[in-house]
Amino acid sequence: MDTGNELAADARIARRDEWRRIAAEQAASGKAITAFCAERGLPQWKFHYWRKALSPCAESSGTKGFVQLKINAAQENGTQVWLEMGTWRVCVAQGFDVATLQRVLVAVAQA
């Protein structure tokens, strides 16, 4: 017999599977997210939330690592760089303190 925790886990898995299906449908439709959500009565914020939650970076919960960033004009000028790892986002401004950045990265990796 399932316990409450097992039932909750099953519900989370089912919800994730449902949103994977919805995101795949939107991608296959070729429609803008705005139009797709309006047709199905889905809140756009919820679609964006789940699309981000289901991204490969977010789903690799057991894997620690960084993803490649796209460089914009401000970053090319050396004003700032954003580091993203899972749901964490760290801004590194020009003239940053290396020791502080190392401590931040260690803390993020352990989270």
Q: Does 88 fall in a domain?
A: yes
Kindly indicate the confidence band of residue 98, based on its pLDDT and cuts at 50, 70 and 90.
confident
Dist. CA 109–CA 85, nearest whole Å: 8
Picking from 13, 37, 11, 12, the residue whose alpha carbon sits closest to that of residue 25 is 37
In this prediction, residue 16 carries a pLDDT of 87
pLDDT score of 57 more than 80: no
The larger pLDDT score, comparing residue 74 to residue 104, is at 104
> Could you tell me the residue range of the domain that residue 13 belongs to?
4-54
9 and 50 share one domain = yes
Count of structural domains within the chain = 2
When pLDDT is cut at 50, 70 and 90, the band that residue 94 belongs to is confident
